[in-house]
Structure 1
Amino acid sequence: MSALETLQWQDWSSVLVVVAHPDDPEYGLSAAVKEWTDAGIEVSYLLLTHGEAGIQGLDPAETGPLRAAEQQAACEQVGVKNLTILDHPDSMLVYNLELRKDIAREIRIRKPNAVVVTNFEVEAYGGLNQADHRVAGLAGIDGTRDAANPWAQPELLAEGHQPWGADVIIIAGHPQPTHTMELSKESVDAGVASLQAHKEYLAALPDHPKPEEFIPAALSIEGGYAAGFRVFGR
């Protein structure tokens, strides 16, 4: 594999992270988010569902608000001030034009330099990727393109949302990264705290590895820490 390029993010003013569920940004990505917010970049999260189907034995009507509150607490650990959660159904997320339009709308509102999605390969994270993750990643990419195209999603123009083209699309958690980004220990610690904020969710997963153990290990490189990303121009 060729040497990774260094991600050039210092001139950004805004980033939008698009994921399916609460906790999805917290598996290494949130440490990079902390670097960005500490540098004065506005980072916004768009969650497509409330994660209401994510805790076995707890009614979705209770789970959704609980997980939204945990995600808000996680955001506070890494400096994210803008959290939007849509009402698409957890574990039944469907790729369609409506989902793409919802993502394109948020992009036109937030005007990010970079849109970040997470790995949407069928095989991911040592097993088979969850269905919502696959849908969210593809819809995030296509919604980014819709946001830049004045002839796509015409309803958004009628709502007053002008086209916006992000500079790059970034895939976090991809097994074949093209770019790397150095992380401070403080940012890694904040990333750990952001995952720990999902207390009830993690308590329902007794076999889940401890955040303070596997997050630093996953981000560790010789002499420090770094996050890897696969980066594309839109």
Structure 2
Amino acid sequence: MMTEQLDAMPTDWQRALAIVAHPDDLEYGTAAAIAGWTDERREVSYLLVTRGEAGIATMDPVKAAAVREREQRASAEVVGVTSVEFLDHPDGVIEYGPALRRDLAAAIRRHRPELVLTINHHDTWGGVAWNTPDHRAVGRAVLDAAGDAGNRWIFPELSAGGLTPWDGVRWVAVSGSPRPTHAVEVSGGVERAVRSLLEHRTYIEALTDEEPEGYCRAFVDQVTSAAAARFGGRPAVAFELFPR
């Protein structure tokens, strides 16, 4: 069991880009940190690789895509994020490879962030809880694309299209990792994180029989309490930080 204290997340940055596979991925804890950052007038943008169309078993994927996009935009607004983009890779079968890396590198060049966020790219969440193929593919592609974005000889067609290289990514921060290294205190963002997750009501109601607000509050509290044990007892969100 890890007991060493987590370091504080860097604060000397202004722009972040959060890249995840599905609507709701950022709301299971990370949104509490994002709420605090937007309060500090930092710029945070979201990039969703899919529209989560395969995530609701009782709903046709075409309809689900529209519902989940709408819920994601409302969810982002709760924590002060207005820039939300979708790439339309197929939900559930995202392929790691050059095509995905190129799309992510293009987004990084457009947004020019210093901090890039994603969620757990490891095979498990710790122990035997197996991670999904989409999370693993996107997380690993994000780590690679942070470098691709700055190399003019990788995907030169991006430069030809006006997306000049951006070598300004200083960190990639992975939430939900079983190997966290850093954390950010989120006392001021917990309530908004709960409301942000609750905006995914259609998805949550199909996912669980629990009352939605209680489900959201319990999950956010569990995530922020788990990190608090290694961050001075303060509600926190933990990240595995990869400096560049």
The TM-score normalised by the length of structure 1 is 0.95
Moved more, 149-158 or 212-221: 212-221
Other structure's SS at 1:210 match: helix
Q: Which deviations, in whole Å up to 9, do the C-alpha atoms of 1:83-129 show, x marking residues without a partner? A: 00111000010012111111011101111011111001111166111
In the alignment, the residues of structure 2 paired with residue 157 and residue 136 of structure 1 have an alpha-carbon distance, to the nearest angstrom, of: 23
In the alignment, the residues of structure 2 paired with residue 217 and residue 135 of structure 1 have an alpha-carbon distance, to the nearest angstrom, of: 26
Equivalent positions of 1:207-218 (< 5 A) are 207=209, 210-218=215-223
2:173 corresponding residue in structure 1? 170
1:96 corresponding residue in structure 2? 97
In the alignment, the residues of structure 1 paired with residue 112 and residue 209 of structure 2 have an alpha-carbon distance, to the nearest angstrom, of: 39
- Contact kept? 2:28, 2:219, Cα under 8 Å: no
Confirm whether residue 43 of structure 1 aligns to residue 44 of structure 2: yes
2:239 corresponding residue in structure 1? 229
Q: Which deviations, in whole Å up to 9, do the C-alpha atoms of 1:120-158 show, x marking residues without a partner? A: 111116611111011010111111110011111111101
The TM-score normalised by the length of structure 2 is 0.91
1:28 corresponding residue in structure 2? 29
Equivalent positions of 1:1-234 (< 5 A) are 1=2, 2-9=4-11, 11-124=12-125, 127-165=129-167, 166-184=169-187, 186-207=188-209, 210-220=215-225, 221=228, 223-234=233-244
In the alignment, the residues of structure 1 paired with residue 184 and residue 233 of structure 2 have an alpha-carbon distance, to the nearest angstrom, of: 14
Shift of 1:225: 0.6
In the alignment, the residues of structure 2 paired with residue 48 and residue 124 of structure 1 have an alpha-carbon distance, to the nearest angstrom, of: 20
In the alignment, the residues of structure 1 paired with residue 5 and residue 196 of structure 2 have an alpha-carbon distance, to the nearest angstrom, of: 30
Structure 1, unpaired ranges of 5+ = none
Structure 2, unpaired ranges of 5+ = none
Q: Runs of at least 4 residues of structure 1 off by over 4 A?
A: none
In the alignment, the residues of structure 2 paired with residue 108 and residue 32 of structure 1 have an alpha-carbon distance, to the nearest angstrom, of: 24
Which amino acid in structure 2 is aligned with residue 65 of structure 1?
Answer: A
Shift of 1:207: 4.8
For the aligned residue pairs, the C-alpha RMSD in angstroms reads 1.5
Paired-residue identity, %: 42
Shift of 1:214: 2.2
Other structure's SS at 2:149 match: helix
Other structure's SS at 1:116 match: strand
